[in-house]
Structures are given as structure tokens and as C-alpha cells.
Amino acid sequence: MNWADSVVPEEEQWIPFYYEEDVTNISNEQNEKAPFVPITIQTLNQLIPFMKLKQSDVLLDLGCGDGRIIIESLLQTQCNEAYGIDIEPEAISQAKSHYKESKLNKPITFICDDFFKTNQIPWNKITVVVMYLLPSIMDKLYPLLKSKLSHCRIFCACFKMSSNIPQTIIRSSSFPDFIEIKL
């Protein structure tokens, strides 16, 4: 799969930081709605083996952007099914055309909706959640994830939830930073 914009200019990349206070250059307005900053292909290629996806897993990307995490995960692993949700119609339209281009023979459902409000996610099927979102947004997602998920592995790329949320970091790689958390 050739990602048209696989090279993200350095100034547009999110540098891996764990804590909200490190993201001081991102405005409050942007904090309310994570901008579309695609994960770099280099980072994605390290994230995928870190998630250790199995054939029986059903993957959900909260804020899937152009679909690269779920499409590449299904291309590169035995994982057979995925869901992606994004609030931006343009992102979902890109994700759908990338999925078509990929010629993947595995189902991905793309949902254009607000992950805080949607009732379109089949939470009981989801076994792995991946998020590349700012800590402030993950903090707000915490109660929803807590109420909807059980026995689910959750991966945060580059950021983690704030330290006063009762989460257990199960593993973290050195660089780039990925975290598997237990709620």
C-alpha cells in the first residue's frame, strides 16, 4: 500500500510525549478536537508488531483519520476485522478510498461520527482499541471506555491518559512510545 502522504513533514509530526503539559504548543481549541495528524509510517510499522494482533482480534481505531492504522494492521497481521471512527467526513472518505486501494479481503467498517456520542460502535465485539489522540481527549474518553469495554487491550500511541486516571501501564517501548494500558 502506497500512502500518498506517508512522509509527514517534521514540523507537523507529534513528537512522542507522555504528559499533557508537554504539549503546550497545542491550543485549547485544538485540544477539544484532536487535529488530523496522521501517524508516520515509520511509527506505524513499529506500533503494529507491538500490538501483537491475533486472528480472533477485532480492532477499533478511535479517530481513524485516513485509515492507515487499521488498514496496515489488517494487511500486516492475522487480525481479520476492524472498525474505524472519525468525526471528519473528509477523513472517512479518504479512509474508504485507501481501503479500496488496498484490496484487503478483510472487512473494515468506517463510521463517520463523534466517538463521544455514537451508538454505531459494536463495543461487545471489540478486543483491541488503538488511539493516537491527545491526553485531554483520552481523559474524556476514559469513562466511556471504562463503561463499554472489558477484557480489551488498549494501545495509546505517543501519549497516555493523565496520571490521575487509574490506569496500569502494562508495557511501553522505548522509542517511539507506545503504551498498553489496563483501565
Ligand X SMILES: C[S@@+](CC[C@H](N)C(=O)[O-])C[C@H]1O[C@@H](n2cnc3c(N)ncnc32)[C@H](O)[C@@H]1O
Q: Kindly list the residues in this chain that would bind ligand X in the complex (CB under 6 A).
A: 33-34, 36-39, 61, 63-65, 68-69, 85-88, 91, 114-116, 132-133
CB of 120 to ligand X, least distance (A): 11
- Are 173 and 46 spatial neighbours (Cβ–Cβ below 8 Å)? yes
Q: Which is nearer to ligand X, 168 or 175 (CB)?
A: 175
CB of 55 to ligand X, least distance (A): 23
CB of 168 to ligand X, least distance (A): 23
Q: Which is nearer to ligand X, 113 or 168 (CB)?
A: 113
> Nearest residue by C-beta to ligand X?
63
Q: Which is nearer to ligand X, 39 or 53 (CB)?
A: 39
Q: Which is nearer to ligand X, 100 or 168 (CB)?
A: 100
CB of 130 to ligand X, least distance (A): 7
CB of 166 to ligand X, least distance (A): 23
Provide the b/e sequence for 140-174 (b: ≥16 CB within 10 Å): bbbeebeeebeebbbbbbbbbbbeeeebeeeeeee
Q: Which is nearer to ligand X, 133 or 181 (CB)?
A: 133
Q: How far is CA 96 from the centre of its chain?
A: 16
